Structure 1
Amino acid sequence: MSFDRASVFNTSVLPGEQNDDQFSEVIKAFRSFILEFRMENQYIYREQLRQNLLVNKYLLTIQNDHLIVFNEELNKKLVDDPAEMIPLFEQAITDIARRIIYLNNEEIPTTFPSCQLVLLSNDNKVSMRDLSSSHIGKIVKISGIVISASTLNSKVTKVALMCRSCKHTLQLSVTTSLGDINAPKSCQAPQQPNSEKPSCPPDPYIIVHDKSTFIDQQILKLQETPDMVPIGEMPRHLLLSVDRYLTNQVIPGTRCDMVGIYSIYQAKQPRRDGGQSNVAIRNPFMRVLGIHTATDDSRIGNSVTFTEEEEEEFLEMARSDGFYETFANSIAPSIYGNEDIKKAVACLLIGGSKKILPDGMRLRGDINVLLLGDPGTAKSQLLKFAEKVAPVSIYTSGKGSSAAGLTASVQRDPATRDFYLEGGAMVLADGGIVCIDEFDKMRDEDRVAIHEAMEQQTISIAKAGITTVLNSRTSVLAAANPIFGRYDDMKSPGENIDFQTTILSRFDMIFIVKDEHNPKRDMSIAHHVMNVHTNGGINNEDEDVEGEIPIQKMKRFIMYCKQKAAPRLSEAAAERLSSHFIGIRRELKKQESHSAERSSIPITVRQLEAIIRITESLAKLELSPVASDRHVTEAIRLFKASTMDAVTQGSADTDEIKAQVTVIQAHLKKRLPIGWSTSVETLKREFCHSNKMPKFVNFDEFALQKALYILEKMDTIQFRHQGKSVFRSGL
């Protein structure tokens, strides 16, 4: 019956009576299952088919668990020989649908649309890497991310052929989803009595399209999820063929489970020397029978179920005292300190509440965080941990990422030569987070490409005749270094940060992480690092006892929060937030009026929305339906410790050092006439460690080095002998 299986077929023009009887028995069994299976005194499939027919949908969705309960032998036949059983199943559905619509036999027309079977399964998933020749022709269930979807095309099911010479017509049923139609190589016209058989040329048949039957078909490409790919290997992908009502159900970036028949097809692959390709080699694909995806609101929420014990445990955890501190300390426990950054990452993982306004405008609830600082401050480790604990996440590096790799690219199908879209990192991480390391190493044009994705959470494509919009509802956690490699205290934040204002305004929290030389803190970090290296494997059990949450439980809790909680601001909290924002803008205006330059980190309405999102995430972390004044207080504190601190970073210290540098520069010019030289150590003794010159006792070595550096840039002093001596060369 079908040529989709890995078997050798012998067919005849007229099938035997035994086969007809066997097929009729199978159709009768499928028919009885649809009509007689019931749950809680309700015939679910009979009613489902009736409801679908009322809206002109000729399909029926079947759970294979129900078929196992009703008739295990029938399910075994379906699993062992799906390519032959599914047409019989669909014929049984069509017969029942015809009876439902036309009660009287006289009213039944000769042509009736064929109904489609949609099969869903709760069987164990098979990894894409484990699919082998033993699965060919069997029903399998796989999961992954849809990375591309072709446009709809027409697939022929019954093709009408006509001989060019003698006009003989032939009807063929096409069962393969992919590959070419195998038309007869010679004319099949029977020899008429008292006449000679016409001599027709080879390959005489042409397709008569208006007498052929077509259905809609779409080709998808499914890729492994990043957590299923072993380190150092490329992700595998598989072609999927969906038809009829299963088309246009998924878009690039959708995470879904696919149930279908693992099949093979012969692709067009002519050799370079002009010969034929090896006909014994077949390419694998899956003929999809059912698609299971999460709902549009949350890719990870509604696809996960929780037991009553889990829900009680999560509620008890969220309402316990000090849970916010415990959850934040459980983020990257191997990293010492950085409490506020860990709390910001906790808010990013939980996220705020998405809102859809009456006019259709969407307000994002995802929080974006930028970590900007010196090397060796554990920024990349925080990103790696966030990627590990987030239910949906993608980690990428700025230097190795392009605009197309982050957003979407347009590819050309080698078979049909049509263009189709392949989603990038921000599309594939829809509903999760994207961790971008080395954010400052990206090219400006690549960084600009994610502007729309970070605020509107969509990606607009207008390439090669394709104009579309893809969803990218992701949070961005980025890490970057200052423009000079290390943060320069002598320069303003705008001079240290090599980012445009447009990208900085899209980050809800910006942390400047400096590697400060503090002996007490250095000792604590050294003890912590040594403890991790010496007792790292033993400490895991102790950490659980101390109250830190394991990674798997934290991941499940994040899923639960995203699914169940959507807090809103109370009136008092909203009033306090608005007055606080007005106060911030007033202070910023005063600072800009006193200084010559404007801040490179803007404080706009986006920052007010950022504080609202942080407040909602703190309430969501406690599974509270309303964000109270307590949550607003912590959100304002976090915002001040991050973005506001970055705006006014080291302003008082910088002014003091600048004053010292100005005084030192004047004395250096007096100390070194043009043409004179001296050593740096002598200058240090005179300016920083001399008791004979009380004027200069309080001067810092850092200020001296800055003064020498500035004078060198002004071409008034030259360094020689690797900075050990100083020579005044003049203007």
Structure 2
Amino acid sequence: MDTAAANPLEPMATYLVRRHPIQLRSIASSPDSNLHFPLHIDFAELMEYDPRIARLIFSQPDTYLQLFDDAALWAHRIVLAEMAADEKNNVVEKKFIHVRINVNGSPLECPETFPSIGRVRVQHRGILLTLKGIVIRSGSIKMHEGERKYMCHKCKSSFTVYPEVEARNSISLPSFCPSQKSKPCGGTKFQYVENTIVCHDYQEIKIQESTQVLGVGAIPRSILVILKDDLVDVVKAGDDVIVTGLLTARWSPELKDVRCDLDPVLIANNVRRVNGLKSETDISDDVVMKFKQFWGRFKDAPLKGRNAILRGICPQIFGLFTVKLAVTLTLIGGVQHVDASGTRVRGESHLLLVGDPGTGKSQFLKYAAKLSNRSVITTGLGSTSAGLTVTAVKDGGEWMLEAGALVLADGGLCCIDEFDSMREHDRATIHEAMEQQTISVAKAGLVTTLSTKTTVFGATNPKGHYDPDQPLSVNTTLSGPLLSRFDIVLVLLDTKNPEWDAVVSSHILSEAEPDRTSNDEDLANTWPLPTLKRYIHYVKENFRPVLTREAETVISSYYQLQRKSATDNAARTTVRMLESLIRLAQAHARLMFRNEVTRLDAITAILCIESSMTTSAIVDCIGNALHSNFTDNPDQEYAKQEKLILEKLG
């Protein structure tokens, strides 16, 4: 213990040499000596190895993180000496190594040290803090002065001065000489030692609380995060991140007629992107086993198994089989591929529900948002084109881009309710985002392209009373180009049907009885939300269905038939429709837990498109999507429809 007290670097360096030799060796074998190298360590592992050091790093990160970096250089020299002796290779000594602490799964994951951004208070200042959020703005990369040396005129001793974050990184000199010799010299005049300035890369990002963890009515808070050296340019707007660092404060810039305050700032020690890690950790082997057993049970009647899954979608709404199937296929999506010219063809499907009031459109939107790992819900009236795409904001004299709803939903789902109440200009901005899956920006001198690989799920009311004789674009006031981008457009008409009304009312009344609800895990009846979420994530990640020759023939002949017969609905029958058919067939194959697209999947995709066409080219028996119900024997029902469709297609 005495040696540790005498030299705090020694136990830290010993820990790094013993537990992280591979990282140290890879840093040593890098040829460039001027780069900044990260050395990642696990806080839980450090806590187990030496609780005293872990406690000091947690309670006094300001001092001990700097010491840990020095210890890393010491450990690096030890490993360097070993490597130089072992191998006859030219290893170079490095100048900058930074210890990056990973807090995930450690004892620090408690509400006091892992608060939501809105709960950051003064008591968190000075300890190692971890915040989770989504990057809404990333600033430009700047150079920032890290330290410079001065020499005292009187005693000729030199000392290093560091910038203060509180004073917006300005360097202030001490009032008298800080040299620690036998007695203080008291000198007050200092001279700058030439060529001693050390510069660092410096970037500011802004992170905001994820809207999924907030209650209704809560406004998401944001905080500024400072990144330095190797952490610069690691994340971009729209990324989900976990940031570990030291909370401090700094004076806000001086503006006329604005009071100068201290703003909270997090100086990052480690930044991790968690986009891909959303729910992979959730799916254990026994859950996958459960899925396989489920499909084993329904081997002879696969559609019965599929309907058991679909019943779990929005269980509070009775029936609406077609809508539930469409929502599931949209969430699962097809396979993205790159064609011969190198153009990326999207795999995400888009869905639009057009319907009378009270047909449950918003319910489906909310439920789909719960099923998706990343989702943003917005309404047409409350969204401008800047809020949907990207907005340019001025911060401290320079322009920056702040991500909008479609960019924040990258890799997830963007739900837009009241689609018809958006202004025409705002609707036009999402054309590119839906088809090319990018947003090209030219605002305030910033010209760039952002990624929006998102599924768009819209809901709208028809304009006035829906007229079945008119084309869809007239009934919805949506333009043809926009409608053609939606894979499925379902029209829910509230026609008076006494039998249907009786069944629905009894279902709603039984839902209201308190003792009727049961939350069992029996997958043969209804799937609960967490299981559905895992299932959708699993099939998206693990299945890449390929079209069989049979499926190709069916899809091709259906497309040709549609092109012949489509006169009044020409905006929907474009090549995009063919791509939609392929995507939906792939999604159905994934839903059925398969890696190949069979005739069954192709015909189901045709039935989906048919029910989204107001004038049907083939099936006259589809009827209103609102009154579509789950049949007792779906496999027999399907056999009839398949026979009918194949006859029509010849």
1:241-640 equivalences in 2 (<5 Å): 241-269=226-254, 272=257, 277=260, 282-294=262-274, 298=276, 300=278, 302=280, 304-321=281-298, 322-357=304-339, 359-413=341-395, 415=396, 417-484=397-464, 486-489=465-468, 491-532=470-511, 534-535=512-513, 538-541=516-519, 547-588=525-566, 592=567, 598-599=568-569, 601-640=571-610
Aligned CA distance change for structure 1 residues 80 and 189 (closer, same or farther; 3 Å) = closer
The structure-2 alpha-carbon separation of the partners of 1:319 and 1:227, relative to structure 1 and needing over 3 Å to count, comes to farther
Other structure's SS at 1:401 match: coil
Change over 3 Å in CA distance of 1:574–1:185 after alignment to 2: same
Q: Give 1:463 shift.
A: 0.9
Q: For residues 475 and 24 of structure 1, do their structure 2 counterparts lie closer, same or farther at Cα, with a shift above 3 Å needed?
A: farther
Deviation at 1:233, TM superposition (A): 1.5
Instruction: Tell me by how many angstroms 1:543 deviates.
Output: 9.8
* Structure 1 residues without counterparts, runs of 5 or longer: 1-17, 191-196, 593-597, 654-731
| CA shift digits 1:467-490 (9 cap, x unpaired) | 111111111110111222x21245
Q: 1:553 to 1:350 in 2, by over 3 A?
A: same
Pairing 1:121–2:103 present: yes
Task: Give the letter aligned to residue 459 of structure 1.
Answer: I
**Aligned counterparts, 1:162-201, within 5 A:** 171-174=160-163, 176=165, 179-184=168-173
Distance 2:351 2:444 in 1: 34
* Structure 2 CA distance for aligned equivalents of residues 649 and 470 of structure 1: 41
What is the distance in 1 between the residues matched to 2:11 and 2:187? 47
Residues 652, 57 of structure 1: CA spacing in aligned structure 2 closer, same or farther, 3 A cutoff?
A: closer
Distance 1:65 1:570, change over 3 A: farther
> Which of 214, 223, 236 pairs up with 1:238?
223
For the residue of structure 2 that corresponds to 1:436, the secondary structure is strand
1:51 Cα deviation after fit:
5.4
- RMSD (CA atoms): 3.6
Cα deviation, 1:381-434, whole Å, max 9, x if unaligned, reads: 111111122221111100111101111111111x3x111111111111111111
SS of the equivalent of 1:478 reads strand
Please tell me the residue identity of whatever aligns with 2:580: A
Secondary structure, aligned partner of 1:365: coil
Aligned-pair CA distance for 1:536: 5.7
Structure 2 residue matching 1:58: 3-state secondary structure: strand
Q: In structure 2, what is the Cα distance between the partners aligned to 1:83 and 1:630?
A: 63
Q: Which residue of 2 aligns with 1:140?
A: 129
Cα deviation digits, residues 80-121 of structure 1 (max 9, x gap)? 21111111111122233345557789x999995221222212
1:283: Cα distance to partner? Answer: 2.0
Q: C-alpha distance in 2, partners of 1:528/1:651?
A: 25
- CA drift at 1:317: 3.3
Is 1:153 matched up with 2:130?
A: no
Q: Matches of 1:480 and 1:311 in 2, distance apart?
A: 37
Deviation at 1:161, TM superposition (A): 7.0
- Taking structure 1 as reference, are residues 83 and 171 closer, same or farther at Cα in structure 2, changes over 3 Å only? closer
CA distance in 1 between counterparts of 2:519 and 2:76 reads 61
Q: 1:228 to 1:73 in 2, by over 3 A?
A: same
| Distance in structure 2 (CA, Å) of the matches to 1:110 and 1:642 | 66
Mark the CA change 1:567 to 1:650 in structure 2 (over 3 Å): closer, same or farther. closer
Q: Which ranges of structure 2 fall in alignment gaps of 5 or more residues?
A: 180-185, 299-303, 624-650
Contact 1:299–1:431 (CA<8 Å) still a contact in 2? no
> Do the aligned partners of 1:493 and 1:600 also contact (CA within 8 Å) in 2?
no
**Are positions 1:85 and 2:67 aligned together?**
no
Cα separation, 2, equivalents of 1:506 and 1:221: 33
Give a deviation string over 1:156-210, Cα, whole Å, max 9, x none. 11035799xxxx99741236387242514868799xxxxxx9999xxxx999996
The number of aligned residues is 597
Q: Answer yes or no: is 1:131 the counterpart of 2:123.
A: no
Quick check: 1:91–1:114 contact (8 Å CA) kept in 2? no
Contact 2:4/2:11 (<8 A) preserved: no
Query: In structure 2, do the counterparts of structure 1 residues 288 and 622 end up closer, same or farther at CA, with 3 Å as the change threshold?
Result: farther
Q: Structure 1 residue 59 and structure 2 residue 77: aligned?
A: no
Taking only the aligned residue pairs, the percentage that are identical comes to 26
Q: Would the aligned equivalents of 2:28 and 2:94 in 1 still touch at CA under 8 Å? A: no
Answer 1 or 2: higher relative contact order, Cα 8 Å, separation at least 6: 2
What amino acid maps onto 1:632 in structure 2?
A
For the structure 1 residues 33 and 643, does the alpha-carbon distance in structure 2 shift closer, same or farther, using more than 3 Å as the test? farther
Q: 1:26-61, CA deviations, whole angstroms, 9 ceiling, x for partnerless residues?
A: 2111111111126xxxx4443443455679562211
SS of the equivalent of 1:547 reads coil
Question: Contact conserved, 1:136 with 1:261, CA < 8 A, in 2?
Answer: yes
Aligned mates of 2:622, 2:332 — CA distance in 1? 35
Deviations 1:114-145 (A, max 9, x none): 21222212232432233322221111222111
- Counterpart in the other structure of 1:94: 73
Maintained 8 Å contact 1:405/1:425: yes
- Amino acid corresponding to residue 84 of structure 1 in structure 2: T
| Amino acid in the other structure paired with 1:267 | S
Task: Tell me if the contact between 1:62 and 1:119 (Cα under 8 Å) persists in the aligned partners.
Answer: yes
Q: Cα distance, 1:550 vs. partner?
A: 1.0
Distance 2:527 2:206 in 1: 37
CA distance in structure 2 between the aligned counterparts of 1:79 and 1:185, rounded to whole angstroms: 29
Q: CA deviation at 1:70?
A: 2.3
Say if 1:649 and 1:576 are closer, same or farther in 2 by CA, change over 3 A.
closer
**TM-score, with length taken from structure 1:** 0.74
Further displaced range: 239-248 or 380-389:
380-389
3-state secondary structure, aligned to 2:224: strand
> Residues 402 and 494 (structure 1 numbering): CA distance in 2 closer, same or farther, change over 3 Å?
closer
Q: Structure 1 residues 52 and 77 mapped into 2: Cα distance closer, same or farther (>3 Å)?
A: farther
Amino acid at match of 1:526: S
Q: Is the 8 A contact 2:133 2:209 kept in 1?
A: yes
Contact persistence 1:389–1:555 (CA under 8 A): yes
Structure 2 CA distance, aligned partners of 1:65 and 1:343? 45
